[in-house]
């Protein structure tokens, strides 16, 4: 998972491999530890080198909006973003390194925020082995809708455009009706 912070491969592949090799509990634990180490690496790389480098590619206005969002939503906002499966884990780690979030704020919001998606993804993986696809699709849709509603409500203060831009940056997704 630490390598995942530098080489952008789907983290789910590593999660599923760990669960397959070590079982549910140890697989999740090892993935969580690796995810935290990778998150720290991304956070510190962004903190050390990121802002000046990013300012060459992203306008100051957009970075200021990102700062504004973090200042308004704080660590709870980062925690909520961790729960939404549309956001890249690495993008959030690097993004947090660009703003004035403290190490401990980053740690708690990441350490707690990555557990629910990891458990859900692992459960979906195990369920897929039992061919429960209808239930898996239904659960994924419910989680996605619930996550987007929470995030949309939370962000009505500064607008939902940041959600659309973050999704576009993260996965190339666009949501024209948000």
Per-residue model confidence as pLDDT tens digits over 40-50: 998 998 888 87
Q: What is the CA radius of gyration of the chain?
A: 16
pLDDT tens string 84-116: 766 777 778 888 888 878 899 999 999 999 998
CB neighbours of residue 96 within 10 Å: 25
Summary count for the chain: helices (H), strands (E): 9, 0
Q: ∠ at Cα 1 (52, 83), nearest 5°?
A: 80
Which range of 52-56, 99-103, 156-160 scores highest in mean pLDDT? It is 99-103
Does the global pTM surpass 0.85? no
Which pLDDT score is estimated for 156? 55
Beta carbons within 8 Å of 36's beta carbon, 6+ residues apart: 107, 110, 111, 114
Average pLDDT, the chain: 75
What are the extents of the domains in the chain?
Answer: 3-171
pLDDT tens string 127-141: 777 766 666 676 677
% the chain with pLDDT above 70 = 65
């Amino acid at each position: 998972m630490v390598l995942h912070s530098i080489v952008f491969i789907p983290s789910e592949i590593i999660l599923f491999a760990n669960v397959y090799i070590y079982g549910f509990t140890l697989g999740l634990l090892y993935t969580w530890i690796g995810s935290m180490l990778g998150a720290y690496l991304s956070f510190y790389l962004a903190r050390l080198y990121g802002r000046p480098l990013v300012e060459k590619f992203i306008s100051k206005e957009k970075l200021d909006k990102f700062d504004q969002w973090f200042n308004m939503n704080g660590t709870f906002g980062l925690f909520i973003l961790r729960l939404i499966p549309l956001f890249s884990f690495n993008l959030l780690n690097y993004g947090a390194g660009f703003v004035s979030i403290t190490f401990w704020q980053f740690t708690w919001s990441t350490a707690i925020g990555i557990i629910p998606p990891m458990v859900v993804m692992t459960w979906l993986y195990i369920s897929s082995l039992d061919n429960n696809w209808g239930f898996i699709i239904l659960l994924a849709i419910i989680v996605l809708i619930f996550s987007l509603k929470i995030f949309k409500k939370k962000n009505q203060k500064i607008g939902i455009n940041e959600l659309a831009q973050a999704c576009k940056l993260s996965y190339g997704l666009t949501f024209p009706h948000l």
